[in-house]
Structure 1
């Protein structure tokens, strides 16, 4: 990956020059999506309509297209079906109702169309997905909805992670990923997987909150997402072990004493919505 050389009083710009990666996790030739609303490089306040893709330059180079440098946040929640908030340390708290939720009234994060198109053409590559997450209200065991995924829909996908799961994938050979005690709780979920090549499209939505369909009605978990990273391992050359170690390092540093997420506080889901 290209580097930026900083000399006091001198600035280079133009073709071939990119901003340096925001951290070691992002320093990958296959970096595709990186969402972290409190990242010190590009923090955002509130729950805006869009947030930075922290690896936008690399993603645009992968897709060989001019793509927006942002990730779109959309919410179909009503005042009774779901709420969102930012936690004290900047996490994004997604809280669907367990009583008045409505099928398909969800909160989503969506990638740019050009990235979804490119991912479809590269679906047989190896992909890595990781998510630093805290489940604050458990879903229903046995019907664990995806919290994050790269794929066509909830049943046809390359890689996904869900509450209490091993991050299994429809295709390929995903590896076990759970790194913390059962939910509700804090976890760094990671999975690597390879698609079958059968998908006709890749959905723009990659983060899901609330019941995507009637199967998950009254069963979806509430959770805080601290970061979410998707990497094309075929392009980056990274192994799953290396990727998981880098993701784990960011997660551990952020939640350990002195870390930017340490000591986080949030509203109890039941206090926000039934």
Structure 2
């Protein structure tokens, strides 16, 4: 019998806020309801923005809220070799390619097309899709540019990956917090274009590391915010091409600020540290987020 496993996976690039509290406590509640494990994972592949101070703050805030998790905690920065192995496999299977266009190159390319009256497609987050003209380069030219030290990122060739499928791509989405009723949701990774899977100096990305981590840790239920609903399409494609198991998903509501926008670490919205030092209790936090 498969051991049911949930996880909460924050990034130590800022202080936790009420939205993180809701997700963490909801994971704990749902895991307890079905007798499942609850894991904590620190997603710290962004070595420039993630700091030990923020990581310490995560532990402090979660312990104060009453969250309990299994040890040891997985820290992504300690597992670059595992992500690199997965990337090497995708390179060998010609499912990724080196993309040399800088952000400035991309903006200039798209601006020129839009000046000519062409509406450039955008991904579900509203970001222009990568032009992907690098895919027309010969192997010899790619290797020459890489040997010269030209900066590049590894991008997933979504069309090539989709061509490997012999079935429809979808995922199981639970309808509510009872995790009883579920629907099949069609995955549309093509809506994102050729996303970055790794950079030259860091052999992974959010999408690659998260699917590897979930598989390696045996995660069966992914409970996270609705802001990641569409990203699940890309992750399902990666799970398929890498032969990884498919977890079930529940994308929960977002806790919004007074002005109706999503809470942000960078703006220090309703930070847990500030609420705690201001005298708010964990019980009051639960009331504020509707748990």
Bin of the TM-score, shorter chain as denominator length: under 0.3
Larger Cα-atom Rg: 2
TM-score normalised to structure 2 length: 0.26
Return the TM-score normalized by structure 1.
0.27
The structure where strand makes up a greater share of residues is 1
